[in-house]
């Protein structure tokens, strides 16, 4: 069973459980651990992921309208993305020309990747040139020329020189005159030992001081990817990693996690021997494909939307303590408007389980809105003046129980208190925090209220 299938099974099993209590969560974590470890993912990272899921599931409450099941699923998804190195913005080489030097051990796929990458970038509108600075591999230049045959990509190389640094320097000079956007330098991997390879890389990189150093790694080497990445990183700061041969290894988890642990992002992956076999690597998309759920990211986005978006203005008000009761009601209405998430989940190849009903939330908001409407402007501005007799009057006017009035005021005070302790975070706040609404209380209040 491959890792994707194992993960899929683990998630499916969890989603299909009747209850999503601690026990079910532990079972999910165990299944996920097994799946990741079988894919050669680093044990420490697996443990960290497990601990994060446990902690986040315990610390954060699902926003109203989102079931605990979906909430845990979102946490798991985000942790898996993080494990894969997080989400990277699209690749945009800058500089005129942008000089990129590849490094990597023998056979890792440098030359193939240089050809793939240059072809890929040309297809994306860049003007690209390539330099062969490998003086160790026999016919290294011919290999590169053949790969890029008829592609209109200039390849610079010198058959008779053995000084790779000078070749690279001259190559860049030569190609610069062609007004290129990007120059990619292919280097040698075939040295008699690692030390001499590292020394050559150090010299080349010092002389060229490129805009970017790209490490080419073979995905089939598993955990060893980490020590390789670290060794090269000592010579020069690795800008990003190209992970090759992703098509041939079912245990790519080793390399993926090893690289993620070094902090250098994976930008591209090689998925075959042909020039077209290159893909941008995006942790979320990769995961979606691994799990066989193409809509996954969209789904998770939807769950995230359940964290209500607060306008700059509203955030400002909250922070300064000017957040009023009507403001809170307005935000609550926004939340209720977003509708149930069930439909989205039903589109996925997962067992159908009912999420919590948002209608319950709508009912609650309606009651609270009525409460606010039957307050005087003065009371709305400053609910602290509402004593028992005022509360009774308001409740009568709103056609609700006095309890509802007290509850709303309590909620408002809690929310305000929380606001004060909160730093402003890009205009976003978890919606359960905004609501100040505990799930248990919510269920008790709405179901029995």
Q: Which residue is nearest to Mg ion (CB)?
A: 111
Tell me which stretch binds Mg ion (CB under 5 A): 21-29, 111-119, 362-370, 374-382: 111-119
Of 20, 71, 110, 411, the one binding Mg ion by CB under 5 A:
110
Question: Binds 2, which of ligand GTP, Mg ion, none (CB < 5 to 8 A, cut-off by type)?
Answer: none
Total site size for Mg ion, rule CB under 5 A: 2
Per-residue x/- track, 275-314, ligand GTP (CB under 6 A): --x-------------------------------------
Tokens of 341: 């998430």
CA distance 76 to 56: 9
Residues 6+ apart with CB under 8 A from 374: 393, 394, 396, 397, 398
Q: How many CB atoms lie within 10 A of CB 381?
A: 14
- Minimum CB–partner distance for residue 115 and ligand GTP (Å): 8
Strands 278-280 and 266-270: antiparallel
Whole-number CA gyration radius for the chain: 29
63, 85, 104, 171: residue in contact with ligand GTP (rule CB under 6 A): 104
From 17-25, 106-114, 296-304, 410-418, give the range in contact with ligand GTP by CB under 6 A: 106-114
What's the closest the beta carbon of residue 192 comes to Mg ion, in angstroms? 16
β-sheet with 182-187: strand ranges across: 155-156, 128-133, 182-187, 98-103, 212-218, 240-244, 266-270, 278-280
> Least distance (Å) from ligand GTP to the CB of residue 282?
17
* Helix runs in 17-67, H state only: 22-38, 43-59
Token representation of residue 8: 């899929």
Interaction partner, residue 407 (Mg ion, ligand GTP, none; CB < 5-8 Å by kind):
none
- Closer by beta carbon to Mg ion, 111 or else 364: 111
Work out whether the CA dihedral 223, 253, 285, 59 comes out positive or negative: negative
Question: In the complex with ligand GTP, which residue's Cβ is closer, 112 or 364?
Answer: 112
Distance of alpha carbon 254 from alpha carbon 48, whole angstroms: 15
Looking at the Cβ atoms of 4 and 272, the one nearer to ligand GTP is: 272
From candidates 42, 67, 108, 111, binder to Mg ion by CB under 5 A:
111
Stretch that binds Mg ion, among 102-110, 256-264, 320-328, 422-430 (CB under 5 A): 102-110
Which does residue 247 touch among ligand GTP, Mg ion, none (CB within 5 to 8 A, set by kind)? ligand GTP
Rule CB under 6 A: choose which of 74, 110, 226, 431 binds ligand GTP. Answer: 110
The partner in contact with residue 67, picked from ligand GTP, Mg ion, none with C-beta cut-offs of 5 to 8 angstroms by kind, is none
CB of 186 to Mg ion, least distance (A): 6
Please say whether the dihedral angle defined by the alpha carbons of residues 439, 75, 299 and 308, taken in this order, is positive or negative. Answer: positive
Q: Which 3-state string (H, E, C) describes 312-345?
A: HHHHHHHHCCCCCHHHHHHHHHHHHHCCCCHHHH
- Rounded Cα distance between 7 and 293, Å, is 11
Does the footprint of ligand GTP cover residue 191 (CB under 6 A)?
no
Locate the DSSP E strands across 51-144. 98-103, 128-133
In sign, the C-alpha dihedral spanning 244, 195, 190, 155 is: positive
Question: Is residue 228 at the binding interface for ligand GTP, with CB under 6 A as the rule?
Answer: no
User: Which residue, 113 or 331, is less far from ligand GTP as judged by CB?
Assistant: 113
Supply the minimum distance, in Å, between the C-beta of residue 114 and Mg ion.
Answer: 8
* Of residues 272 and 438, the one with the C-beta less far from ligand GTP: 272
Nearest to 428 by CA among 310, 320, 335: 310
Vertex 171, ends 169 and 175: CA angle to 5°? 125
Q: Which of 42, 67, 111, 407 binds ligand GTP (CB under 6 A)?
A: 111
Site for ligand GTP in 133-172 (CB under 6 A): 134, 137
Query: Rounded to whole angstroms, how far apart are CA atoms 370 and 2?
Result: 55
Nearer to ligand GTP, 188 or 405 (CB): 188
Could you tell me the smallest distance in angstroms from the CB atom of residue 237 to Mg ion?
22
Sign of CA dihedral 106, 107, 109, 114: positive
Q: Which does 220 bind (CB under 5 to 8 A by kind): ligand GTP, Mg ion, none?
A: none
**CA 14 – CA 30 distance, rounded (Å):** 11
- Which residues sit at the interface with ligand GTP, rule CB under 6 A? 104, 106-112, 134, 137, 189-190, 244-245, 247-248, 270-273, 277
- Which residues sit at the interface with Mg ion, rule CB under 5 A? 110-111
């Amino acid at each position: 069973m491959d890792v994707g299938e194992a993960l899929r099974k683990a998630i499916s099993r969890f989603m299909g459980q009747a209850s999503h209590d601690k026990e079910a969560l532990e079972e999910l974590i165990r299944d996920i651990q097994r799946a990741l470890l079988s894919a050669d993912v680093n044990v420490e990272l697996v443990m960290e992921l497990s601990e994060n899921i446990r902690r986040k599931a315990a610390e954060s409450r699902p926003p109203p309208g989102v079931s605990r099941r979906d909430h845990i699923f979102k946490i798991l998804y985000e942790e898996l993305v993080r494990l894969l190195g997080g989400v990277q913005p699209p690749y945009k080489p800058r500089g005129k020309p942008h000089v990129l030097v590849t490094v990597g051990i023998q056979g890792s796929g440098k030359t193939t990747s240089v050809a793939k990458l240059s072809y890929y970038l040309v297809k994306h509108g860049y003007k690209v040139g390539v330099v062969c600075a490998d003086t160790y591999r026999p016919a290294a230049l011919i290999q590169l020329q053949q790969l890029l045959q008829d592609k209109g990509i200039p390849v610079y190389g010198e058959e008779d020189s053995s000084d790779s640094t000078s070749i690279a320097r001259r190559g860049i000079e030569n190609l610069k005159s062609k007004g290129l956007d990007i120059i990619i330098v292919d280097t040698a991997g075939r040295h008699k030992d690692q030390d001499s390879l590292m020394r050559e890389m150090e010299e080349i990189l010092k002389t060229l001081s490129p805009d970017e150093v790209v490490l080419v790694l073979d995905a089939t080497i598993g955990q060893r990817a980490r020590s390789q990445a670290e060794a090269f990183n000592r010579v020069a700061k690795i800008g990003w990693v190209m992970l090759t041969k992703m098509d041939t290894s079912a245990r790519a988890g080793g390399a993926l996690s090893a690289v993620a642990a070094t902090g250098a992002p994976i930008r591209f992956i090689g998925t075959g021997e042909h020039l077209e076999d290159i893909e941008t690597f995006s942790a979320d998309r990769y995961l979606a494909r691994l799990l066989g759920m193409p809509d996954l990211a969209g789904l998770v986005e939807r769950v995230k939307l359940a964290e209500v978006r607060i306008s700059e203005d509203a955030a400002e008000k909250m922070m300064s303590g000017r957040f009023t009761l009507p403001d809170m009601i307005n935000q609550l209405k926004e939340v209720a408007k977003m509708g149930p998430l069930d439909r989205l989940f039903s589109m996925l190849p997962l067992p159908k389980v009912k999420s919590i009903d948002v209608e319950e939330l709508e009912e609650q908001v309606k009651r609270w809105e009525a409460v606010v409407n039957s307050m005087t402007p003065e009371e709305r501005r400053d609910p602290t003046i509402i004593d028992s007799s005022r509360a009774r009057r308001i409740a009568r006017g709103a056609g609700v129980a006095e309890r509802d009035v007290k509850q709303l005021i309590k909620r408002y005070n809690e929310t305000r208190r929380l606001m004060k302790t909160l730093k402003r975070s890009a205009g976003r706040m978890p919606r359960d925090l905004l609501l100040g609404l505990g799930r248990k209380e919510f269920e008790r209040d709405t179901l029995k209220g």
